[in-house]
Chain A
């Protein structure tokens, strides 16, 4: 009996080995991913960003290796990098980005107020009258006040003189181009910053001075400017099959993705309400 068992076992192992050998492709599949080489907490060339970690989980789920195409996220990024064919996937795009086909969202975050925890500010609303007396830092794309949603919401309330802009491209010569707005809160150069959640969460984890965070209210600035966004991956509009594959991988890897987001301190809102 024992010998028969062992023989069977050996056969099973041999069969598995043969099947495995037959199933193994000649060359591993490659998922070409466009990512910014210097944009923590999202991605960097050392693969230390949370989007690096998440796309690698997704690729592993798909049985593929990630091949990065490193490019700074600047004007024309989507058009040239993805739609121009340099890569096949862009992690970390807004779910409603129209120039690409977006996957199912893997997280939702919000713009947040950030202030030094040792100051009794407890801010939550853009309508808080105290915002008139505070120096407010806000992320901006260009040099006008009408681009990021909080910049627009502040301008709509006439808050211009006490608002300081911080370029989202930041100082690319450093290894944390987007950190200055958080450092300015820590150092007291500004009283409060309004920052996209993942950035605020990550740099507050690494802050020397404890920082306090609160989601910006109203979540939709009237009449219809949202402060919260779902985040997806983007593929070319002609790549519906790849989107389907990534969707399945995102569902399968949900617990691991959640662990990564928590580890990086990403403030999350529910994806379902």
Chain B
């Protein structure tokens, strides 16, 4: 995930959390406020009614107010001696034109009808079974010596409605916030993190074998400046180490060639001495054999360095099929000796490459498949447009697959193996930008090389 997306995601999650918690808090607060306000209004209005009755108004006329129920009672209910609130519900009347409200106090529309619907209304509630919550106040009061029970109801804004409204409001805020964060972060990143991405880009294209130093663009952000400075330091440092190491291995290999050449020619000469016994001859041959391994090792290491240095950069058009067939032929005796079943499926394919490098690649791959095979095993070589695949039977890998291409990595059974063949293959693929992959299924091994397509 990209940094900008990651940060945007966290930002958005955080803001969403804050907005949701804020929304819930606001909702609770509103709910509480509405409740308190409703109670206050009910109390106030009931007091007005009481005063009006006390002043001699006809309570029956007052009671005609839709929201109001007044009845005469014999005995007060102890529950109702104080203001008693409860909640009830009424079925909503479908809204058909403005309902007419008579009476005093509350503004029209604020007090929808309370109580049971009249028989004539029955059809409508059935069609719309929605209910409206009502906050109701009941009080028993003695006015002018008579006990009255006053019930007064008032529609409260339903929790559901409140939730709906807040949800819509907060969802809009959330959407806006997310959008703003998403695009805002992008813009911010483009500006603030510019030097960071510039450095990253330079690092991505950097190779240790590059001769030039990496130049990081100057930046006013302190952290990035420090980062660039440290990066430049480490790169300089590893470049120096790399060059030194490379030169060392190159020189070591070069300088070894001459003494090895002398030893070899001395041995060749020694072999010609008259009257050598079997013991001496076998000793000389053993030395020759060991020296041969040293020669091979030295040559291979030198080769690895050279390939790494891209000394084989001149390319020409090569018929890959012909190259493969050449090495199959070169190794035909080995294949016969191991009684290997060879399957070839080669398409005509030419590619631009260095002939020497391509020879090395295929000779090592094919030789590897023979060498690590079992007697009577199989080898299958496939060449399609730009893809070379070689699979062979063989012993199960004794080390993790990731170490497959490592230098000097070899199974315990392979005494004569240098362990460098696949390192060369890997080096060639790295330098030539061929994609190489290795798969194994216990005793079946497969190497695929995607040659640069044209």
Q: Does B bind A?
A: no
- Interface positions of A (Cβ within 8 A of B): none
- Interface positions of B (Cβ within 8 A of A): none
